[in-house]
Amino acid sequence: MATLKEKRTCGQRCRDFGHFVWNSDEGTFMGRTPEKWVYISLYYVAFYVVMTALFSLAIYVLMYTLSPYEPDYQDRLQSPGVMVWPDTYNDEVLEITYNMSDKHSWMKMSKCLHKFLKPYNDTIQAQCNHYNCTVGKYFFQHQYDAPKHTKWACPFYQSMLGKCSGIVDPTFGYTTNQPCVIIKMNRIINFLPNNGTGMAPYVNCTVLKGHENVRGHVYYPLNGTLDLSYFPYYGKLAQPTYVNPLVAVKFDLVNKRRATIQCRVMANNIAYENFYDHYEGKVTFDLNALS
Ligand SMILES: *[C@@H]1O[C@H](CO)[C@@H](O)[C@H](O)[C@H]1NC(C)=O
Ligand SMILES: *[C@@H]1O[C@H](CO)[C@@H](O)[C@H](O)[C@H]1NC(C)=O
Ligand SMILES: *[C@@H]1O[C@H](CO)[C@@H](O)[C@H](O)[C@H]1NC(C)=O
Ligand SMILES: *[C@@H]1O[C@H](CO)[C@@H](O)[C@H](O)[C@H]1NC(C)=O
Ligand SMILES: *[C@@H]1O[C@H](CO)[C@@H](O)[C@H](O)[C@H]1NC(C)=O
Ligand SMILES: *[C@@H]1O[C@H](CO)[C@@H](O)[C@H](O)[C@H]1NC(C)=O
């Protein structure tokens, strides 16, 4: 036989609840004695303290193993990009167009190059990069021997760009049909051009369009070499005074004085055929001298 469920009034329920909150017979509060409540609270305090400690320890260990001197994840950009100055863009095409008889036009070009070369000023370089680097050798530094826990960086003097240094000819040839452009390869931490074989990378410029308008070109420094002593690069924090080595190219334009040029940095581990990145390993630009 089923027992009939006892019907309870609201008042009874309230009394039951009150009884639950504070049971004076057994001296319990919410079903537990105050003593038990203290134990439970202590348990939870200890539990959270331990959890917090574990979490902090994990973060600490992670931060400790991360070096601020180099990125831990370098999954992109294993091959350096190449850029050209003066950096005058026109509808996404690099177009170095100037009018050699218009002062405003050639001034714009030479100002751009002077500004770009500011950090390479011989006086500044002699001050902040006074280490005697060995030309033709990778400059490996396993320790932080330079002041303030840094590494040395090799100087690159503006004067090494010869006729394109802006020192002999402050117009960089933009008042004539022999303009200079400056090629720079982007930095990649720990990148060794030619994969440690000891051969220096160099810039090779070729005429893609308008062969008849280019009589020749000259590289500064000689052979367009990017000396090995500028590699590897150890990062901004390790080498705060590092400057990228540069190569300047002076073109001799004739006839229509208009050509499309491609300059590539040649090394066995520099890619240049990336369909999605036109600046990887090479740079293409139009050169156009008006009069
Ligand atoms: C170049 O500049 C000169 C002098 O300002 C001007 O006479 C000439 O038309 C300019 N040439 C072009 C193609 O704009
Ligand atoms: C380099 O800097 C020095 C001192 O600031 C200055 O006198 C000199 O003209 C600069 N050289 C060039 C080529 O700008
Ligand atoms: C570099 O060489 C010059 C002359 O050979 C010397 O006076 C200078 O102390 C050297 N500097 C360093 C950092 O070794
Ligand atoms: C670079 O050198 C390393 C070791 O010397 C070798 O394992 C690797 O295959 C080389 N990579 C290229 C692209 O030559
Ligand atoms: C420069 O590039 C051109 C075209 O790719 C090539 O024919 C020439 O041999 C290269 N020159 C050097 C010195 O690598
Ligand atoms: C430039 O190249 C020529 C011919 O390949 C070579 O004899 C000369 O030593 C090179 N000069 C420099 C400074 O690399």
One domain for residues 117 and 59 = no
Q: For 125-151, write each residue's pLDDT tens digit.
A: 999 998 989 999 999 999 998 888 999
14 φψ region: left (φ > 0), alpha (ψ -120 to 50), beta (else): alpha
Cα(160) to centroid(ligand 3), Å: 19
Is 159 a pocket residue for ligand 2 (Cβ < 6 Å)? no
> Which atom belonging to ligand 2 lies closest to the Cα atom of 122?
1
Poorest-pLDDT segment among 10-14, 19-23, 69-73, 254-258: 69-73
One domain for residues 54 and 165 = no
Tell me whether residue 5 is in a domain: no
Q: For 184-231, write each residue's pLDDT tens digit.
A: 999 999 999 998 888 999 999 999 999 999 999 999 999 999 999 999
Q: Between β-strands 202-209 and 258-266, what pairing exists: parallel, antiparallel or unpaired? A: antiparallel
Nearest alpha carbon to residue 253 among 227, 281, 278, 218: 218
Q: Which residues pair with 182 in a beta bridge?
A: 85, 248
Considering its fold, how many domains does the chain have in total?
A: 2
Tell me whether residue 270 is in a domain: yes
**Vertex 211: Cα angle to 209 and 217 (nearest 5):** 110
Tell me whether residue 23 is in a domain: no
One domain for residues 55 and 101 = no
The owner of tokens 């004695």 is: 33
Tell me whether residue 19 is in a domain: no
One domain for residues 42 and 114 = no
pLDDT-derived band at 100, boundaries 50, 70, 90: very high
One domain for residues 196 and 259 = yes
One domain for residues 45 and 147 = no
Q: For 218-273, write each residue's pLDDT tens digit.
A: 999 999 999 999 999 999 899 999 999 999 999 999 999 999 999 999 999 898 88
Q: What is the CATH number of the domain that holds 119?
A: 2.60.40.1660
**What pTM did the predictor assign?**
0.78
One domain for residues 267 and 171 = yes
Count of helix runs (H) and strand runs (E) in the chain: 4, 11
Collect all residues with Cβ–Cβ distance below 8 Å to 68 and sequence separation of at least 6. 237
pLDDT average, residue stretch 55-72: 81
One domain for residues 88 and 163 = yes
One domain for residues 167 and 269 = yes
One domain for residues 216 and 98 = yes
One domain for residues 156 and 42 = no
Q: Is the dihedral of CA 131, 134, 265, 252 positive or negative?
A: positive
Tell me whether residue 7 is in a domain: no
Q: Which string of DSSP letters, residue by residue, matches 76-135?
A: S--S-BEEEES--EETTEEEEEEETT-HHHHHHHHHHHHHHHGGG-HHHHHHH------T
> What is the C-alpha separation between 48 and 125, in angstroms, rounded?
56
Instruction: Give SS3 for 158.
Output: helix
> What is the C-alpha separation between 61 and 222, in angstroms, rounded?
50
Tell me whether residue 185 is in a domain: yes
Q: Which residues pair with 277 in a beta bridge?
A: none
Cα(269) to centroid(ligand 4), Å: 9
> What is the C-alpha separation between 129 and 239, in angstroms, rounded?
10
One domain for residues 240 and 207 = yes
Going by CA atoms, what residue is nearest to atom 3 of ligand 6?
223
Q: Is the dihedral of CA 118, 121, 125, 127 positive or negative?
A: negative
pLDDT at 31 over 90: no
What are φ and ψ of residue 103, in 5° steps? -55, -45
Substitution site in 106, 174, 288, 291 for ligand 1 pocket (most atoms within 8 Å of beta carbon): 291
Which residue, 65, 91, 115, sits at the end of a domain? 65
Residue-number span of the structural domain to which 48 is assigned: 28-65
